[in-house]
Amino acid sequence: MNKSSRIISLLSIICITVLFMNAIHESDIDPKTNTHQNYKIRALKLPSNLNLAGERVPLEKSDVKERMDRELLVNTYWQSNGILLLKRANKYFPIIEPLLKKYGLPDDFKFLALAESGFTDETSTVGAAGIWHFMKATGKEYGLEINNNVDERYNIEKSTKVAAEYLKNAKNRFGSWTLAAAAYNAGNYGISRRLEAQEVTNYYDAKLANETERYVFRILALKEIIRNPEKYGFVFEKDDLYTIKKTYTVKVDTAITNITSFAKGFGINYKEFKIHNPWLRENKLNNRSRKLYEIKIPVK
């Protein structure tokens, strides 16, 4: 077979294949809806036992049911974001879970951190930073070091401790973990003012700002989906999930004039160093006070 004949044969095969695929495609389309016959958007059945830190969600209240349904639908059918959150949860939950237990915070609050930041190091539009999304003033109030050189909002261990302190204080003030979670979003004063003005003591009875009204329900939706991924259509293998490298700790009580050079001394580059120590914001550690810092080095 000469070159021209081979080309003609190949083109014929391609044309036949395309026509065949189009025929299959057309036969699968529902002419009434112009959608694939297998394409279904199904309503979700709300679990009857939803709770936050053991506090029951009163789904018998129509507005509560609708708000919960909304967040479960949004987070189920926003598939790309959902699978990303599942992957990141596998990476960060093993770090956060023992810290929550250590600091006396219910395990459910790991879903609050996930709802806040999606476990990314991006700073929000209003300046909240770290996986717990602390504002600068709040972080400093609770003892975090925050400046151009060091920002401990990005230190998972230290920011988790502060989050636990904040939420436990809010729980003591308002009497419930659900209101403590709402206060994490709207501030203690903001929640207190609304409750007093409306003469209510329960999150589900209060009329709050739209973001805060959705906030607890988003946490609940993420908890339900991450604990039951296949129930909501998320299918994956274990090796699809993200993991974090094991590290060991190096204690430093002096300045580091050049982090790039410091990292090379441990056989890693600047980027690898920063992935594990995002709280160091520059290519140096000033440390004029000779404070003791713990630096993570990935195990080779």
- pLDDT tens digits for 113-148? 999 999 998 888 889 999 999 999 999 999 999 999
Q: Please report whether residue 56 resides in a domain.
A: yes
Q: Please report whether residue 44 resides in a domain.
A: no
Q: Please report whether residue 192 resides in a domain.
A: yes
Give bridge partners of residue 41 from the DSSP assignment: none
Q: Please report whether residue 46 resides in a domain.
A: no
Identify which of 238, 194, 231, 230 has the alpha carbon closest to the alpha carbon of residue 213: 194
- Comparing 9-13, 203-207, 283-287, the range with the smallest average pLDDT is 9-13
Q: Same structural domain for residues 144 and 58? A: yes
Q: Same structural domain for residues 110 and 167? A: yes
Q: Same structural domain for residues 147 and 286? A: no
Q: What average pLDDT score do residues 187-196 get?
A: 97
Q: Same structural domain for residues 142 and 193? A: yes
- pLDDT tens digits for 151-173? 999 999 999 999 999 999 999 99
Q: What average pLDDT score do residues 241-249 get?
A: 96
- CATH code for the domain of 166: 1.10.530.10
**What is the percent of the chain where pLDDT is above 90?**
83
pLDDT higher than 50, residue 20: no
Q: Which residue has the higher pLDDT, 30 or 150?
A: 150
Residue 107 CB partners (closer than 8 Å, separation 6+): 97, 100, 101
Q: Same structural domain for residues 29 and 157? A: no
Average pLDDT, the chain: 91
Full domain range(s) for residue 185:
51-240
Q: Please report whether residue 43 resides in a domain.
A: no
Measured distance between the N- and C-terminal CA atoms of the chain, rounded to whole angstroms: 56
Query: How many domains does the chain fold into?
Result: 3
Phi, psi angle pair for 36, to nearest 5°: -60, 140
In terms of DSSP H, where are the helices of 147-231?
156-174, 177-186, 188-198, 210-227
Q: What value, to the nearest 5°, has the Cα angle with vertex 171 and ends 179 and 193?
A: 50
pLDDT higher than 80, residue 25: no
- Comparing 83-92, 124-133, 152-161, 257-266, the range with the smallest average pLDDT is 124-133
Q: What is the pLDDT of residue 3?
A: 45
Q: Which residue has the higher pLDDT, 114 or 39?
A: 114
- pLDDT tens digits for 48-64? 999 999 999 999 999 99
Are β-strands 55-56 and 51-52 bridged in parallel, bridged antiparallel, or unpaired? antiparallel
What single letter denotes the amino acid at residue 8?
I
